[in-house]
Structure 1
Amino acid sequence: MIDFSKLQTGQNSDTALQPRDIFNSLPGKEKGRYQYPRDVQSKVWEQWHNRKAESNLVIKMNTGSGKTVVGLLILKSCLNEGKGPAVYIVPDNYLVEQVVQEATSLGLPATNDYNSHGFLQGKEILITNIHTLVNGLSAFGVGDQGIKIRIGSLIIDDAHACLDTIEEQYTITLPSSSDSYKEIYKLLRNSLLQQSEPRVLEMEDYDPSIQMLAPFWAWQTNISEISKLLIQEKNEDYLKFKWPLIKDSLKLSRCVVSSSKIEISPHCIPINSIPSIEYAERKIFMTATLADDSVLASHFGITDSRAYQAICPDSFGDVGDRLILMPQVINPELSDDDIKNLCVHAKKYLNVVIIVPSDHRANYWKDVADSVLKKGNIHDGIKALKKTTKGLTVLVNRYDGIDLPNEACRLLVIDGLPDVRRMIDKVEEGILLGTDRSATQITQRVEQGMGRGVRSNDDYCAVLLIGKTLTRKLYAGSGVQKFSVGTKAQLDLSEKVASQIAKADLKAIWETLLYCLNQDSNWVSASKGALTSLTATPVSNADPVTMALRKAYDQALANNSKNIGEGIINSLSSANKVMKSYLKLRAAEYVNLYDQVESQKLVLSAANDNPRTLKPIDGIGYHKLEGELLEQARECKNYLQSFANPNIPIIELNGIFEDLKFEPETAARFELAFAQLARFIGFTSQRPETDSGRGPDVLWRTGPSQYIVVECKNGATTETINKHDCNQLNGSGEWFENKYGADIAYTPIMIHPAKKFEHAASPKATTRIMNIEKLEILKKNVRDFIKSVCSQGLISDETQIRNQLLQLKLRSVDFQTFYTTNFIAAK
C-alpha cells in the first residue's frame, strides 16, 4: 500500500490559499466541465486575494460569467485559511439547489444543513437562502440571544435579489382585524385627519387606494403605548417572526395606514439585530454590474467608502448578446395590442417571456399566455419552461433571482413600470416623483429584469421595453443614463439600430429582431465589438444621500441624536426641490427627538418645497391658482418649448395617458396625470387636496375667471354614483367658492364610469360627468393636437397652435360641451 501523505510536497485543494490554485488542484471536479478557469474568474480571484483582509467587499461580475464558481472558491480559500465557518447565501431555495449542484460538480464539500458538524467545524460550506439567516427566529441568533451560530466568512450572492426578503422580514403588517390595528389607528387618527380629512374619510369608507403616512411626531409621542400593544400580540403569526428584529428600532420606524392593514418598517435595516452578520470577519457581496450599490448602506449598514471600490473584471467580453428595443419610442403610434400581436407571432417560433408588474397586468396577457407564473408556482413553472422551445410565459413581478438560459427565453418583454410591493414604498414613490432617486430605483429593477434572458457569454436574447409609462421614464426622463456600463453600451448600439427604422411598423420591427434572434453574423460582430471595446475600473457607486441617511439613522439608533440632522442637511446642495423636501423631512424626524419646534420648521419648509409630503402640525395655507394667465396658445407654446426635442412631449403624453384609465386602486396616479394633462393644452392646474389637505382632487384654470373643479372616481365599479362621492364634489364646490369668491365661475366635474346618481345623492344642477367615453375623446383630441404640433415642427408658431386648439375643440369654451355629459338624476 502506498502512503500518499508522504508524497504531498506542495499545495493541494485543502491547503492552497489562492482560489485559482485551489480550482486547479480540486481532485473531484466533473471531467470536461472545469478544465480551466475563465480569465474573468482568475482576475477576480486575484483582486480578492490582494484585498481579503478587508471586512466588507463588493464583487461585481456580469451575468453568466461564472460568479457562483468564484464565490465557492473564495469561501474554500477562507476555510483553508481558518476563517470559517463559511456561509453562501442566495435569494431562495431554487438557487440553493443550483449552488449545491455547482459545489458537487466542483468536488467541494458543501451542505444545506446549518446543523452539519462539517459546517460548524469549518470543513464544509453552508449553502442556504436569505430567509434562513434573516428572520426573527433565526437559528444564527437574534438580538439579545447573541451569536448562536458563528459566521467567519459570509458571501451574499445576488445581493440585490435578497432585498425583498430582507425588507419583508423587517416589516410588520397588522391586519385590520387585529386589536393592535384598531388601537394604533385610534392613537394616530387625529394626526391623520390634520393631514387630510377627506382621505381619512375615504379610507374609513374602505377605499383600497388610500394609504397614509402617519406623521412621525404622532408616532414618536405614542411609541410607548404602541410598543405595549405589539408586545401583547408578539406571538401571533403576523408578528412572531418580525418583532425580535424590529422592536429595538420601533421609534425610528415609519407607519403607513390603509383600510386593510397597518405597515411598520424602519427607515434603514438594523441588520445588527442579527449579530452573526454584524460580527462576521469577512462579508462579501456579489452582484451583477448594476449602477447603484447604495442598498449596501441602507440594508447592510456598510458606510465604509472603501467597500464600494468594487472588485470587477476589466472587460465585458463575457457578456451575452442583447438587442434592446423600445417599440413605442421607435413608433409612438404602436399600441400595447400591436406589441401583443407581435409576441403572439413570435411564440410560434421561440420562447417569449413577459415580465409584468402586477396580477392586473398579467390578466392582459392571459388570453395568449401558455402559463402565468407567480410566487406559488414559479419554481415548477421555470423548470417546465426550460424543457420547452416555444410558447409565451408571463412572470408576475419577478425581476430577479430567475435564470432563463438559452432556449428558455429568446424574446424577453418588460411590460410597464416595476411595481413596489410595500405600502411605504408606494408612499415614498409618490413623494419622490421626478427625482433621480426614483429613476434609479426603477432603472435598477428594469436592468435586473433584462438580465434574466442572457446567462452566459454565448447566450443571446432580444429585449422589448414596452408600456408608455415605462418608456416615458426611461427615454423622456433620461432613465437610460442610470443603466450599468455594459447595458448602456448595448442600448447605445440598439439605439443606432432603432434610428434606422424610425416609425417602423410591426413587420419591420420583427425583421430587425431577427438579426439578433438568428444571430446574423454582421449583428453579432457589431454587438460583440460594442462590448469588447469597453474597459471598466472599480468605482464607488455609493449614493452620498443614502450614506448620509444611513449614518444619521445609526446615530439615532445609538441615541446620539444631537445635531443629527446636519449630515442630512449638508447633502442638500446638489438635490432638486423634491429631493430637498424629502431630506428635510427625514432630518426633521430625527431633530424631533430633541427639538420639536425646530423639527416643525423643517416640516414646513419641506411642505413648501413639495406639497405631496407631510404638513406641519399647524398646517399650511392654501395658495390660490391665479396670476397673469398668458393667452392659451402662448402658454402652450412656452410649455412645449421647455422639452429638449419635439419627440419628448409625445412620449411624455403617452405616459400620462397610460395613467388616465378607469381601474381600481389607481386614483393617485390618475389625479396626477389629469393635473399634468392641463399643461399640454395651455391651462394651469393644481391638486388642492394633496397640496393642502382640503379641496378637490384636481383644479384646472382655463381662463382669467374660469375654473374646473374635478373629483376623480376612476376606480369606481358601481353602476350609480353614490351619495358620498356626490357630497365630496359638492363640498369641493363650496371650498372653491370660499377660496375664490362666489362671483368666479367654475364647473364641477365628476370623473366616474357611471352617469346616474343614486337616489340619496343631491348633485348641484351645474354638475357634469366625464365618463369613459368622454375621457377617451379628450385623450384622442389632445393626442392629435400634440402629434400635429410636435411632428410638424409648429411648437414655436402661436398662430398654428391656436388654429389646432380651435380645430380640435380644446379651448376653454369647448370643454363642457365636448368632454362632459349631463348627469342622470335618480327617479
Structure 2
Amino acid sequence: MDFSKLGSAKKTQAPTDPIRIFETLPSLSGTFNDLWRGQDKALTEWHVARERQDVLVSLNTGAGKTIVGLLIAQSLVNEGLQNVLYVCSTIDLVRQTSEEADRIGIDHSTRVRKGFSNDLFETGKAFCITTYAALFNGHSALRNRFFPQAIIFDDAHVAESLLRDAFTLRVDLYDHEELFKEIAELFKPHFQELGIAGRFRDALDLSRHSTAFVAPHGLYERSERLLEILLRHGVKDHDELTYPFAWLEDRINACAAVFTRGAFELTPPFLPSLALDIFQQKVRRVYLSATLQSQTDFIRAFGRKPDVTVTPSNDAGNGERLIVSGRKVKNGFGPDFAEKLVETQKVVIAVPDYERAKAWAKVAEPPAREDFSEQLTEFRKADEGAFTLVSRVDGIDLPHDTCRIMIMEGLPSGTSLLERYQWEFLRMNNVHAVRVANRLAQLFGRINRGRNDYGAFLVQGDDLDKWLGNDRNLALLPPLLQKQVLIGREVQDTFGIDSRKQAIALIERVLGRDEGWLDYYQREVKLAELDQDQLARHNAAEPFMVAAALSEAKYAAAMWNDDPTSARRELEKTVDTTAQHDTPLGGWHALWLGAAFEREGDKEAARAAYGHAMRRLGNGMTLPRPAPSAGDKTIPEMNVFGRSLQGLLRYSHGNKFEAEVEKLAQTLALIDHGDPRQAEAGVRALGELLGFTATRPDNDGDTGPDVLWRDDAKQRQLGFELKTDKNDPATYFKKDISQGHDHLEWMAQTYPEYDILGLAFVGPAGKAHAQANPSADMSLCLPSALAALRDELMALIEDLRKHTPMERLIAIGKETEDDRWDIEAIFKRLNPTPMSK
C-alpha cells in the first residue's frame, strides 16, 4: 500500500462568511454571477450580528430573500451548529426553496409528511428545509428528536396565522357531526345562562352568519367534560385533530372557544410562543420578512421584538404595478369580465375563502390540495387561462410572462374563526388591518417578483377596495406599495376610467410598455405621499400597540404555564393605555384580564373587568355581569353606571385604589390638557365610567365621529367631534360641518335602532362659517363643560369611598338611579349651543 497517495484526513475549514460561501459555490447551469446589492448588504449585516439570538432580515418581496436565507443556513451549518432548520409556510414553498438550493449548489435535506429526502441532515452534514407545520405541530419529531440550534423562519411577517393553525382545534358539523353535536349540547346551558341562546342556535347553523363566544368561566367550568368528550371520540387517533390536541390537552383553561357556522374552535386567545422551548432556549433565530411598517403582528407570532433588524436599502423587488379599483368601474371586474379576459390573457384570481371561489367557478375552479402543484405548473406553461388562489398569499411565484394580471377579491384573511370573530363582530379593525397589510404585501408579490417585473392588479369587491382607499391602512404597507396604490388612484381619476372597456385599454397600454406610462410612473413613484394626518396617527399609536402585543405574549406564556397571577399582572400594566389608543383591543385585553382574575378566584374583580370589556367591545360580546351579594335584599340591583363605580370602588382603601384612581385621573385629564386625539381618549374614558358603551369609531374603524357614547339600556346615542386645537374664538368651517353630516349619517346607519341625541363639536366658543349648513342635531360643547362633568364625577367617587362596604353598595345604587345621570340629562348639563344659529 502506498499511503503517500492519500490526502490529508483533516478537512479544510468551511467558511462561515455567507458572501464567501456564495463565492465558493460551484458554477452550475442557471447560476447567477453575483449577489444583488440588497442581498450583499443583508448578508454582511447579518454576519456581524450572527451571534445574536433574534435577527430580523427585512427585504422587499421579490428581492431574493430565499438566497439570503439559504446562505445564512449554510453559514450556520459551517459554524458547527446542529440541526439547522429552514422553515417555510407551505410544502410548495419547501419544494421551490429546495430547487433554488439545488440551482446554486447548496446541499440540503427536505422534510415534508414525516420523511427526510436524504440522510444529510440526520448525519449533521446539511440543514433541512421544512414547514412551520412540521416544526410546530404537537407531535413534531423535528422538535423532539432533532431539536434545532438555529432556525431560519421564512415569510415571518405572515407566520402568525401559521402558528395559530398549530394551536387550533376545530370540530365542524360537516366532518365530525356526532362530536360537534355533543360539544354543542355541553355548552347549551352556558349560552342560556348568558341570555344568548338564540345567537348560539344561529351559530350552529351552517347557513347563518352568527358567532357565539364562550365566556371564560363557561369554558373553565366545562374543561374536564370537554376533554372527556374529545377523548371518547378518539381525537388522539384522528389524522388532523391529534396535532393541535397534543398542545391543548392539558391547557384547555388557557384557551378561548367560539361556535360559528356549524363549527367549534378551541385556541389560545394569544399565541403562547414565549412558553415554547423553541423560543425559551438558546436557539439562533433568523426571521426573513417583507418590509414591515408595524412590528405588532411579528410580536404576536414570535412573542418578542428582534434583537437586531437588518433592512438594507435596495430597489430589488421593486416591481412596477398598476392597481385599478373595480368599485369605480361600472359592473366591476367580476366573473363575467374575467371570462372574456382569459380568452387572451393569463389571470390569477385571488379570493379569501372557498365560498367566494364558487362565484368564479365558470372562470377557474380552485384545484384540490393534492392537485395544486401539478395544476399550477400547467398554468405556468400555458399561454392563456386562469388559476384560482384560495386564501393563499405566499409560496406561489408567477414572475414575468408566466402571469401579469391578478384579480383580487376580498380582504385576505386567515383560517382562524377567532380572528374572524374579532374582525366581523367585535370590530377590532386596527388589529385586523395589520394582518391584512402583511398578507397583502405577500399577495401583491405573487405575480410581481423583481425590479424588471410589471403587472396589473384589478381590485374587485367593496371590502378590499375600501380598505385600500383609506390612507391609514396604506400606512401599514411597504412604502413602494403605498405609492403604487396612490398612482393607481390618480390615473383612474384623471382619465375617468369607469368602464370595463377603458380599464382594458389602460391595462393593454401598461402591459404593452407605453412610453408615456413608463415616464409618468418613474416620475410619480418618487413623489406620491400618503395623507400626513393619517400617517401621524399610525406613528403615534405604534409604540403603544407594540407594548400591547408584548403584554399579550407574556400573558399567554404565563397562562400556558398555569400562572394566572403573573398573567394578570402583565395585562394590568397596559390595558388602560391600550384602550386609549384602540378601544376594541383594550376591551379584548380587559376580557382576558377578567379571565385571569377568575382563575385566581377573584370573581368580583373578574366581573368588573368583564364590564369594561363589554363597554369597549359593544353588543358583539356578552359576559357575566356583576350582581349584588346573595341574600341581601336591601342592596338594589345596579344599573351599568352603578356597576362601573362599584368596579372602581371595590378597592376602597390602600394602594390598589389609589393606583386605579390615578390611572383614571391621568386619562380624564386629557379632556382639557391634551391634543385632540388625546382628548378623544379622555372623552371615551369618561363615557365608559358613566356606564355607556363608549368607543372611538374614527380611530378604531376609520369612519364615524371621534367618540360615541351609547346607552344600550334605552337605545340612545351621542356623538362627539373633537376640535380642541382650533383658535379661540373658533370658526367651524364647511369641511367640519360636512364631516358632521357624514358622522350623523354613519350613526343612523350603524345603529338604526338607537335614537340620536346629537353630535357635539367639542372646541372653543365660536360659530359655523356662513357657507356651512349645520343641522339641528349639531351643537357646540366647550371642553370646560366636559371637564366640569369629570370633576363632579371624581368628587362623587371620593365621597362614596368614605362609606362602609355595605353602605357604599346602597349609596351607589341610590346615586346612579338619579335622573341626572341619564344620558340625555348629562347632554343638557354640557350646555350644548346649537350650531345652526
TM-score (normalizing by structure 1) = 0.70
Aligned counterpart, 2:366: 372
Query: Do the aligned residues in 2 keep the contact of 1:317 with 1:531 (CA within 8 Å)?
Result: no
Change (3 A) 1:323 1:259: closer
- Which of 348, 356, 360 aligns to 1:361? It is 356
Query: Do the aligned residues in 2 keep the contact of 1:263 with 1:423 (CA within 8 Å)?
Result: yes
Structure 2 runs not aligned, ≥5 long: 530-538, 627-638, 641-711, 720-731, 759-770, 777-837
Shift of 1:513: 2.5
Shift of 1:42: 0.7
Find the aligned partners of 1:389 and 1:643 in 2 and give their Cα distance. 55
Query: Do the aligned residues in 2 keep the contact of 1:603 with 1:614 (CA within 8 Å)?
Result: no
Find out whether 1:149 has 2:203 as its counterpart.
no
Aligned-partner SS, 2:142 = coil
Which moved further from structure 2: 611-620 or 216-225?
611-620
Find out whether 1:679 has 2:745 as its counterpart.
yes
The AA in structure 1 aligned to 2:345 is L
Aligned counterpart, 1:623: 713
The AA in structure 2 aligned to 1:83 is L
Aligned counterpart, 2:103: 105
Aligned counterpart, 1:334: 330
Query: Do the aligned residues in 2 keep the contact of 1:59 with 1:285 (CA within 8 Å)?
Result: yes
The AA in structure 1 aligned to 2:223 is I
Identity of aligned residues (%): 19
**Per-residue Cα deviation, 1:43-91 (whole angstroms, up to 9, x for no partner):** 0000100111111111111222221111111111111111232211112
Query: Do the aligned residues in 1 keep the contact of 2:274 with 2:554 (CA within 8 Å)?
Result: no
Aligned-partner SS, 1:404 = coil
Residue correspondence of structure 1 range 678-717 to structure 2 within 5 A: 679=745, 683=748, 686=751, 699=753
Structure 1 runs not aligned, ≥5 long: 142-146, 630-637, 650-675, 687-697, 705-793, 800-827
**Per-residue Cα deviation, 1:711-738 (whole angstroms, up to 9, x for no partner):** xxxxxxxxxxxxxxxxxxxxxxxxxxxx
Which moved further from structure 2: 442-451 or 52-61?
442-451
The AA in structure 1 aligned to 2:715 is L
**Per-residue Cα deviation, 1:208-245 (whole angstroms, up to 9, x for no partner):** 43321100012123333333443443423153222222
Aligned-partner SS, 1:592 = helix
Find the aligned partners of 2:773 and 2:369 in 1 and give their Cα distance. 52
Aligned counterpart, 2:156: 159
Find the aligned partners of 1:373 and 1:618 in 2 and give their Cα distance. 48
Query: Do the aligned residues in 1 keep the contact of 2:109 with 2:129 (CA within 8 Å)?
Result: yes
**Per-residue Cα deviation, 1:779-800 (whole angstroms, up to 9, x for no partner):** xxxxxxxxxxxxxxx994879x
**Per-residue Cα deviation, 1:119-168 (whole angstroms, up to 9, x for no partner):** 13431121122222222221124xxxxx3212122112123455444322
The AA in structure 2 aligned to 1:230 is L
Aligned-partner SS, 1:119 = coil
- Which of 422, 425, 440 aligns to 2:419? It is 425
Change (3 A) 1:69 1:593: same
**Per-residue Cα deviation, 1:142-198 (whole angstroms, up to 9, x for no partner):** xxxxx3212122112123455444322211123455666455444432321214132
Residue correspondence of structure 1 range 515-530 to structure 2 within 5 A: 515-528=509-522
Find the aligned partners of 2:172 and 2:498 in 1 and give their Cα distance. 50
The AA in structure 2 aligned to 1:296 is F
Aligned-partner SS, 1:284 = strand
Aligned-partner SS, 1:593 = helix
Find the aligned partners of 2:514 and 2:717 in 1 and give their Cα distance. 60
Query: Do the aligned residues in 2 keep the contact of 1:249 with 1:270 (CA within 8 Å)?
Result: no
Which moved further from structure 2: 440-449 or 385-394?
440-449
**Per-residue Cα deviation, 1:243-270 (whole angstroms, up to 9, x for no partner):** 2222343211011124733210112333
Aligned counterpart, 1:351: 346
The AA in structure 2 aligned to 1:236 is D
Find the aligned partners of 1:57 and 1:295 in 2 and give their Cα distance. 16
The AA in structure 2 aligned to 1:561 is P
Find the aligned partners of 1:511 and 1:269 in 2 and give their Cα distance. 48
Find the aligned partners of 1:501 and 1:528 in 2 and give their Cα distance. 18
Query: Do the aligned residues in 2 keep the contact of 1:342 with 1:510 (CA within 8 Å)?
Result: no
Query: Do the aligned residues in 2 keep the contact of 1:294 with 1:546 (CA within 8 Å)?
Result: yes
Change (3 A) 1:476 1:236: same
**Per-residue Cα deviation, 1:436-481 (whole angstroms, up to 9, x for no partner):** 2122223332332212111122211111222122222331474222
Aligned counterpart, 2:703: none
The count of residues paired between Structure 1 and Structure 2 equals: 643
Aligned counterpart, 1:217: 217
- Which of 409, 412, 416 aligns to 1:415? It is 409
Residue correspondence of structure 1 range 515-594 to structure 2 within 5 A: 515-528=509-522, 543-562=546-565, 563-572=569-578, 574-594=580-600
Aligned counterpart, 2:271: 269
Find out whether 1:323 has 2:329 as its counterpart.
no
Find out whether 1:388 has 2:400 as its counterpart.
no
Change (3 A) 1:290 1:389: farther
RMSD: 3.8
Query: Do the aligned residues in 2 keep the contact of 1:374 with 1:395 (CA within 8 Å)?
Result: no
Residue correspondence of structure 1 range 158-177 to structure 2 within 5 A: 158-176=155-173, 177=176
Aligned-partner SS, 1:100 = helix
The AA in structure 2 aligned to 1:69 is I
TM-score (normalizing by structure 2) = 0.69
Aligned-partner SS, 1:354 = strand
Change (3 A) 1:564 1:544: closer
Aligned-partner SS, 1:313 = coil
The AA in structure 2 aligned to 1:584 is A
Query: Do the aligned residues in 1 keep the contact of 2:411 with 2:436 (CA within 8 Å)?
Result: yes
Find the aligned partners of 1:485 and 1:325 in 2 and give their Cα distance. 18
Aligned-partner SS, 2:33 = coil
The AA in structure 2 aligned to 1:608 is R
- Which of 134, 137, 141 aligns to 1:139? It is 141
Change (3 A) 1:398 1:22: same
Find out whether 1:465 has 2:555 as its counterpart.
no
Shift of 1:564: 3.8
Change (3 A) 1:189 1:352: same
Aligned counterpart, 2:198: 198
The AA in structure 2 aligned to 1:601 is A
Residue correspondence of structure 1 range 763-782 to structure 2 within 5 A: none
Find the aligned partners of 2:5 and 2:504 in 1 and give their Cα distance. 66
**Per-residue Cα deviation, 1:83-103 (whole angstroms, up to 9, x for no partner):** 232211112222222222221
- Which of 471, 477, 488 aligns to 1:494? It is 488
Shift of 1:404: 1.3
Find the aligned partners of 2:608 and 2:242 in 1 and give their Cα distance. 38
Find the aligned partners of 1:358 and 1:352 in 2 and give their Cα distance. 18
Which moved further from structure 2: 37-46 or 564-573?
564-573
Find the aligned partners of 1:35 and 1:408 in 2 and give their Cα distance. 24
Aligned-partner SS, 2:152 = strand
